[in-house]
A and B are shown apart, each in its own frame.
Chain A
Amino acid sequence: MSDRPAATRVHDFAEVDQGLTAEEAIAEAARCLQCKKPLCVGGCPVCIDIPAFIAEVAEGNFAEAARLVKEQNMLPAICGRVCPQETQCEGVCILGKKETPIRIGALERFVADWERESGATLPEVAAPTGRRVAVVGSGPAGITAAADLARAGHAVTVYESLHEAGGVLTYGIPSFRMPKDVVKAEIEQVVRMGAEIKKNYLVGRSLPAEELLAYDAVFLATGAGLPSFMGIPGENLPGVYSANEFLTRVNLMHAEKFPAFDTPVKHAARVAVIGGGNVAMDAARVARRLGAKVFLIYRRREEDMPARLAEVHHAKEEGIEFLTCTNPVGIIGDAAVTGLECVKMSMCSLDASGRPSPEPETGSEFTLDVDMVIQAIGTSPNPLLVSLIPGLERGRKGNVVVDEDGRTSIPHVFAGGDIATGAATVIEAMGSAKKAAAGINRMLREA
């Protein structure tokens, strides 16, 4: 493994995984069987021609490898770092049946990092079509669609409400897992392809809905940024954060550098992070880097956690203590948090998702001595903009309803990413964005 040692890395925010060297990448690529019917491509939500790019890596043709990856994916340095490869391309790699699968994610990242350091070449952009497309949100879905739409020759304007582009890549995923210069560089490529990014625009407020709908096509990619809270007593005490707030303060506002930067964050001695997904792991590992002893509280078993294996592994290495089959029932404190009341859970029959449904064990209540609680139990689609667009059909969970092309109930308005699917992964957002961009391109060609 190419990870920095846990004892060092818990004191900084630099990247944990150091990536492959050129020699390692070539050796890893040489293991690829170059299957006639590659299963890995089917396992990739954006259908990268994986065997083809790996063959180029094996030959040392890194520039050509990068070009092949970028035909389908303009954010390879990002995906190589955060895709759950074990359930996608690597999960279906035929080598995985007998030995270890090809490290496709590491190779993708290697190729992208190599290209960034040696000067990126841009995909060809079609002649201007004279059509205007608005993309709302500059996260993974918005940037992916903007790239495909700019490549087709449309005038693309991306609206971002924050002061930095990137969405969850910027405010959500910490720099030790997603260095911000990597995010900036990949977004910069899309800008160089002709897309304009307007920051500090909250569409629906800074740009009225009717002006948005005046574009020839609209792609909504506003994400699932609305944090869920458990609804337990004590939740509004000082010292209780949503993971979104805690991570935004650090990742976007650099609160770890307070007072050199102006935004503060609480530093606690003992922190409970509630949840078992990637966001929970990120929050726990950030809290650890701010100097706390961190407990991760999850109501099911460790094997039921939705987080990537690598994140669970990294969190444990960094000394995060996992309390599984444990559910918080109340936060104790007067002027600040002093404890978290929990109950042990026993695993019962499987639920609809195939995971066991947890039931509280009577008499198993206990209090965990903590002075900060971070809730990372999920997010739902941002309700603001979609509620301001008249006639936009929404599903029960607040998501925008789309057809298989990503088209909403308004013919020239498409949607993708978490706003359409509910909270999912970066790569799934990108996959749905590519589909919608193709739908928009088709519509504009035929119109």
Chain B
Amino acid sequence: MYTINTATEIADKIFEFWIDAPQVARNARAGQFLILRIDEKGERVPLTISAVDGDAVRVVFMAVGKTTEHLATLQAGDTLADVVGPLGKPSEIREYGTCCLVGGGAGIACTPIIARELKAAGNHVIGIIGSRNADLLILEDEMREVCDELFITTDDGSKGFHGYAADVLKRELDHRTIDAVWIIGPAIMMKVTSAATLPYGVKTFVSLNPIMVDGTGMCGSCRVTVGGETKFACVDGPEFDAHQVDFAELMQRQRIYTDQEKLAAEKFAEHVCRCGEGGHCHE
């Protein structure tokens, strides 16, 4: 069993958990993920490792489906049946010169750990974090502390630059040299934003989030086409060269279980209303 040390809603429907998982925390590097399972009936959910502190790891997730809604009902002191990790290859950290980290929505949570390691490797680090509106912006203080420069964007202009992270990224690329870019967020955001770096020939990484089962290279559920070749995101990634990724295929494969996911979420919502016990009741 793995204890949740703290559980906090840091923005509307976005939750931050610190989980006690020594074998993950002691070995985790930037860019890696873990897989957790809430209970005996749970599915295996991959989440990027967002920070590490001693024997605890931080994950951030948005409550958007049955499992994440259920997870959101858990509180400090509750336990998870399983946590395994760190999984996947670490980010390619080295001295590039100037690096830019672009985070979109809940994907912002994946950026500070990479920023920290890039900074430690001697890079000048620029952060660009964007969300739909000011209320949904997460980890701003942490990114401000770790990055040399931080830009904020909101779709509605309620904070920072009015527009998308891609716009600020393009603006910066136009007037200075950036040697490596990480873009982490929803698939569509990664697709659009990485298209912005293509004309500049900048090395660009994206962290892919396809559907996984075991997360150790045994099932192929997470297969993605990168540079015309099939790769398993769980062991060959999750970070890949953005300009080689077949995003259309990724997004198609992310939708495989849309109908079932909807059914599961509806049933869970109904159940929560009826018994008032949230995720704790398993009748």
**Which B residues contact A (CB, under 8 angstroms)?**
23-24, 27, 32, 37, 41-44, 66-67, 81-87, 213-214, 216-221, 223-225, 230, 235, 249, 252-253, 255-257, 260-261, 263-264, 267
- Kindly state the separation between the CA atoms of A264 and B224 in the bound complex, as whole angstroms: 20
Which residues does chain B contribute within 8 Å of A238, judged by CB atoms? Answer: 252-253, 255-256
Which residues does chain B contribute within 8 Å of A335, judged by CB atoms? Answer: 252
Partner of A163, one of B27, B81, B225, B255: B81
Q: A236-B249, A258-B264, A382-B217 are in contact. Are A205 and B86 (CB under 8 A)?
A: yes
Contact B255 A202 (CB under 8 A): no
Contact A264 B260 (CB under 8 A): yes
Q: A236-B253, A384-B217 are in contact. List 7 more A-B contacts (CB 8 A).
A: A200-B23, A200-B82, A236-B223, A236-B225, A238-B255, A239-B256, A253-B43
Can you name 17 A-B pairs with beta carbons within 8 Å? A163-B82, A200-B83, A229-B230, A235-B230, A236-B224, A236-B230, A237-B252, A238-B256, A244-B219, A245-B213, A245-B219, A258-B260, A258-B264, A260-B41, A335-B252, A382-B216, A384-B216
**Which A residues contact B (CB, under 8 angstroms)?**
161-163, 171, 199-202, 205-208, 225-227, 229, 235-239, 241-242, 244-245, 248-249, 253-254, 258-264, 266, 335, 382-384
Contact B261 A199 (CB under 8 A): no
Q: Is the interface of A mostly helix, strand, loop or mixed?
A: loop
The 8 nearest A-B residue pairs measured at CB:
A245-B219, A264-B260, A262-B43, A225-B218, A200-B84, A163-B82, A263-B43, A206-B23
Which residues does chain B contribute within 8 Å of A202, judged by CB atoms? Answer: 84-85, 87, 216
Q: Which among A161, A199, A208, A239 has the highest number of chain B CB atoms within 10 Å?
A: A161
Contact B84 A163 (CB under 8 A): yes
- Kindly state the separation between the CA atoms of A227 and B252 in the bound complex, as whole angstroms: 21
Contact A227 B220 (CB under 8 A): yes
- Kindly state the separation between the CA atoms of A94 and B261 in the bound complex, as whole angstroms: 57
Q: A225-B217, A238-B252 are in contact. Are A262 and B84 (CB under 8 A)?
A: no
Contact A248 B23 (CB under 8 A): no
Which residues does chain A contribute within 8 Å of B82, judged by CB atoms? Answer: 163, 199-200
Q: A202-B84, A259-B263 are in contact. Are A248 and B214 (CB under 8 A)?
A: yes
- Kindly state the separation between the CA atoms of A249 and B235 in the bound complex, as whole angstroms: 19
Closest chain B residue, CB of each to CB of A387: B235
Which residues does chain A contribute within 8 Å of B66, judged by CB atoms? Answer: 259, 262
- Kindly state the separation between the CA atoms of A89 and B53 in the bound complex, as whole angstroms: 56
Contact A248 B219 (CB under 8 A): yes
Which residues does chain A contribute within 8 Å of B43, judged by CB atoms? Answer: 253, 261-263
- Kindly state the separation between the CA atoms of A373 and B221 in the bound complex, as whole angstroms: 13
Within the complex, the shortest CB–CB distance from A67 to chain B, in Å, comes to: 34
Within the complex, the shortest CB–CB distance from B236 to chain A, in Å, comes to: 10
Closest chain B residue, CB of each to CB of A258: B260
Closest chain A residue, CB of each to CB of B86: A205
Closest chain A residue, CB of each to CB of B82: A163
Contact B213 A249 (CB under 8 A): yes
Contact A244 B218 (CB under 8 A): yes
Which residues does chain A contribute within 8 Å of B44, judged by CB atoms? Answer: 163, 253, 263
Within the complex, the shortest CB–CB distance from B226 to chain A, in Å, comes to: 12
- Kindly state the separation between the CA atoms of A254 and B40 in the bound complex, as whole angstroms: 10
Contact A242 B235 (CB under 8 A): no
Closest chain A residue, CB of each to CB of B260: A264
- Kindly state the separation between the CA atoms of A285 and B224 in the bound complex, as whole angstroms: 28
Contact A163 B37 (CB under 8 A): yes
Within the complex, the shortest CB–CB distance from A31 to chain B, in Å, comes to: 43
- Kindly state the separation between the CA atoms of A414 and B221 in the bound complex, as whole angstroms: 31
Closest chain B residue, CB of each to CB of A246: B219
Q: Which among B42, B214, B235, B249 has the highest number of chain A CB atoms within 10 Å?
A: B214
Partner of A229, one of B85, B220, B252: B220
Contact B220 A244 (CB under 8 A): yes
Which residues does chain B contribute within 8 Å of A237, judged by CB atoms? Answer: 252
Contact B217 A383 (CB under 8 A): yes
- Kindly state the separation between the CA atoms of A226 and B230 in the bound complex, as whole angstroms: 13
Which residues does chain A contribute within 8 Å of B249, judged by CB atoms? Answer: 236
Contact A161 B84 (CB under 8 A): yes
Which residues does chain A contribute within 8 Å of B263, judged by CB atoms? Answer: 259
Q: A225-B218, A244-B219 are in contact. Are A206 and B85 (CB under 8 A)?
A: yes
- Kindly state the separation between the CA atoms of A51 and B42 in the bound complex, as whole angstroms: 46
Which residues does chain A contribute within 8 Å of B261, judged by CB atoms? Answer: 264
Within the complex, the shortest CB–CB distance from A284 to chain B, in Å, comes to: 18
Which residues does chain B contribute within 8 Å of A199, judged by CB atoms? Answer: 82
- Kindly state the separation between the CA atoms of A259 and B221 in the bound complex, as whole angstroms: 19
- Kindly state the separation between the CA atoms of A161 and B225 in the bound complex, as whole angstroms: 26
- Kindly state the separation between the CA atoms of A199 and B82 in the bound complex, as whole angstroms: 9
